[in-house]
Amino acid sequence: MTNIQVTKIKGVRITKSISVFDSRGTFVKVHPFREFENNLDSVAISINPRLGTIRGMHFQIEPFAEEKIISCIQGSVFDVIVDIRPQSHTFGKWASFELSDHNQVQAYLPKGIAHGFQTLQPDTIIQYCLSASYSPEAAYSINPIGELSINWPIKEFLISERDSGGLSLSTAAYKYAQSIEN
């Protein structure tokens, strides 16, 4: 498996998953978990029936900040990441790429990277391998429609109130910075 560095956002790696095909179907292995500083904590699945659904930009603060490996196991998404680490030279920058069951690309995201996506097909399923447990008190969202100026490809979209009412980038960065200082 070859790592491809995403140079716009420090520490993010895009890889191709390992797949084996035969008459029964396909077996896909996600990136090895040795990438995580900590052990794998959980696997989560996001099922998205509607085309144009936007989820994000999600992150957690310490002690629940997460490393993530994200892959699309059905359908496709316009995947977006933003660096909220104030001391990073890529702070405030965002990058996008397509994840799909066809291209079998997966993304490794270090702590301090907010993540979101928009479904490009109905019935899209995203898998997350996470290094920390979900904590409602530590979980936040940055508004994906506002100041980040992300050009979402599908203009008619579905988004939750929590996400559309999310934090500004500066508030998110402040919360993250405070959590790693304590």
Catalytic residue, from 31, 89, 108, 128: name it: 128
Where do the H-state alpha helices sit in the chain? 161-164, 169-181
Catalytic residue, from 58, 108, 140, 176: name it: 58
Q: What is the CB neighbour count within 10 angstroms for residue 166?
A: 24
Question: Which of 154, 171, 169 is CA-nearest to residue 51?
Answer: 154
Q: What share of the chain is helix, strand, coil (3-state, %, to 5)?
A: 10, 45, 45
Q: Which residues contact 103 (CB under 8 A, 6 or more apart)?
A: 16
Distance CA 166, CA 145 (A): 9
DSSP annotation string for 98-137: EEETTT-EEEEE-TTEEEEEEESSTTEEEEEEESS---TT
State yes or no: is 128 an active-site residue.
yes
Active site residues: 58, 128
